[in-house]
Amino acid sequence: MAESEQKNENSAGFEREAETGDPAAQADAAVEATTADAESAMSSSGTSAAPVDSAAEAADRPVEAAPVEVPESFTVTLIVRRYDPEVDDEPRWVDYDVQMYQTERILDALHRIKWEQDPSLAFRRSCAHGVCGSDAMRINGKNRLACKALVKDFDISKPIYVEAIKGLPLEKDLIVDMEPFFDSFREIQPFLQASGKPEKERHQTIAQRERFDDTTKCILCAACTTSCPVFWTDGQYFGPAAIVNAHRFIFDSRDEASQVRLDILNDREGVWRCRTTFNCTDACPRGIQVTKAIAEVKQAMLTGVKL
């Protein structure tokens, strides 16, 4: 071990006195009060207000602090389309009453059902904040990510209907087979194709980078594709998500295979079947202008890619 001064300060400002009461207990209370649990959030933090000795340094700008409402709970009825292939011949709708808070989401409601009422309910989820694409589902007839659908945005005087996304084979409860969806994605050659190996990075102007920014946001959640009436009636249709990902490369100035992808899409009338119903754009949780991207790909087929 290296010889060095014993007892270095961990860092400035953290020498804490033993006689300031019981810091651990204070830490407890503070931690408890910051949990997502509304009950504990309402309990007192147990810390006493110390005089603020640095009021003079206070921010010069008049900025609104966020208003904080005292959380109030209410009952929401969810009607979930359940299906267990090992038991059920047909899917069935099942009602659940759940206690919810203003700031919570449909995913919280589903967890409450799974964790407190019926652990057999099956659904996918991971990140819980709209970035992984696991939990696209049909909520009151519209495709949403359960983790981004806030309960307060629904009319809770009526039940909320939750079912699996449509157009992909139903596996169990809210879970569908994603393979056909990913197959379409893989078919459009979703990877950069560029010749030569530069010594460092390939250059790209800010404007060139901006050209395909919107379609880089896709998280492959399938909300768009499974809201598309053309996809429902024709499972062979590539679907909006595959076209969005083709767009991401077609308009990337570094890529040299745009024409290949346009040909793939053209071959199976990939883009031409789009009837511009805008369902996909409405469904996209990442706010991607899906219909616009499809239109740009159509345009590129007719007039070539303009970068």
Partner 1 sequence: MADHSSVTDGIHYHQHDVVIVGAGGAGMRAAIEAAPKASTAVITKLYPTRSHTGAAQGGMAAALANVEEDSNEWHTYDTVKGGDYLTDQDSAEILTREAIDAVYDLENMGLPFNRTPDGKIDQRRFGGHTRDHGKAPVRRACYAADRTGHMILQTLYQNCVKHGVEFFNEFYALDLIMAEVDGVKRVSGVVAYELATGEIHVFQGKSVVFATGGFGKIYKTTSNAHTLTGDGVGIVWRQGLPLEDMEFYQFHPTGLAGLGILLTEGARGEGAILRNASGERFMERYAPTIKDLAPRDIVARSMVQEVLDGRGAGPNKDYVYLDCTHLGAEVLETKLPDITEFARTYLGVDPVVERVPVYPTAHYAMGGIPTNNDAQVLSDNETVIPGLYAAGECACVSVHGANRLGTNSLLDINVFGKRAGNNAVAYAQTADFVDLPADAADGVVKMLAQLREGEGTESVAEIRKALQETMDRNAQVFRTEETLQTALADIAALRERYPNVRIHDRGRRFNTDLLEAVELGFLLDLAEVVVVSAINRKESRGAHMRDDYPTRDDVNYMQHTMAYRTDAETGASQGIRLDWKPVRVTHYQPTERKY
Asked whether 138 and 164 are in contact (CB, 8 A), the reply is: yes
Q: How far is the CB of 252 from ligand FES (least distance, A)?
A: 25
Closest CA to 107 of 119, 125, 95: 125
Q: How far is the CB of 186 from partner 1 (least distance, A)?
A: 5
The pattern of x and - marking residues 271 through 300 that bind partner 1 according to CB under 8 A reads ------------------------------
Q: Is 302 in the site for partner 1 (CB under 8 A)?
A: no
Cα(104)–Cα(69) distance, integer angstroms: 14
Give the footprint of ligand SF4 on residues 81-120 (CB under 6 A).
Answer: none
* Closer by beta carbon to partner 1, 171 or else 282: 171
77 interface partner picked from ligand SF4, ligand FES, partner 1, none, CB below 5 to 8 A per type: none
Candidate list 78, 290, 297, 301; residue touching ligand SF4; CB under 6 A: 290
Give the footprint of ligand SF4 on residues 204-223 (CB under 6 A).
Answer: 218-223
Q: Is 284 in the site for ligand SF4 (CB under 6 A)?
A: yes
Look up residue 138 and give its DSSP letter: E
Candidate list 110, 147, 241, 297; residue touching ligand SF4; CB under 6 A: 241
Q: Is 134 in the site for ligand FES (CB under 6 A)?
A: yes
- Residue identified by tokens 């007719």 is 302
- Residue identified by tokens 């024409």 is 259
Candidate list 79, 122, 128, 257; residue touching ligand FES; CB under 6 A: 128
145 interface partner picked from partner 1, ligand FES, ligand SF4, none, CB below 5 to 8 A per type: ligand FES
Asked whether 110 and 163 are in contact (CB, 8 A), the reply is: no
Q: Is 132 in the site for ligand FES (CB under 6 A)?
A: yes
Beta-carbon contacts of 93 under 8 Å, excluding residues fewer than 6 positions away, are 79, 80, 81, 82, 161
One-letter amino acid at 247 equals: H
204 interface partner picked from ligand FES, ligand SF4, partner 1, none, CB below 5 to 8 A per type: partner 1
Instruction: Measure Cα distances from 285 to 96, 142, 212 in Å.
Output: 26, 12, 18
Q: How far is the CB of 126 from ligand FES (least distance, A)?
A: 5
* Interface with ligand FES: number of residues (CB under 6 A): 12
159 interface partner picked from partner 1, ligand FES, ligand SF4, none, CB below 5 to 8 A per type: none
Cα(164)–Cα(176) distance, integer angstroms: 7
Candidate list 72, 206, 303, 306; residue touching partner 1; CB under 8 A: 206
Asked whether 256 and 283 are in contact (CB, 8 A), the reply is: no
- Pair type for strands 175-176 and 170-172: antiparallel
Cα(146)–Cα(160) distance, integer angstroms: 12
Q: Is 283 in the site for ligand SF4 (CB under 6 A)?
A: yes
Give the footprint of partner 1 on residues 68-97 (CB under 8 A).
Answer: 68, 70, 84-87
Which tokens sit at 53?
């000795």
Q: How far is the CB of 185 from ligand SF4 (least distance, A)?
A: 9
Q: Is 205 in the site for partner 1 (CB under 8 A)?
A: yes
Candidate list 130, 167, 239, 240; residue touching ligand FES; CB under 6 A: 130
Cα(45)–Cα(35) distance, integer angstroms: 12
Asked whether 247 and 293 are in contact (CB, 8 A), the reply is: yes
| Cα within 13 Å of Cα(142), Cβ side | 14
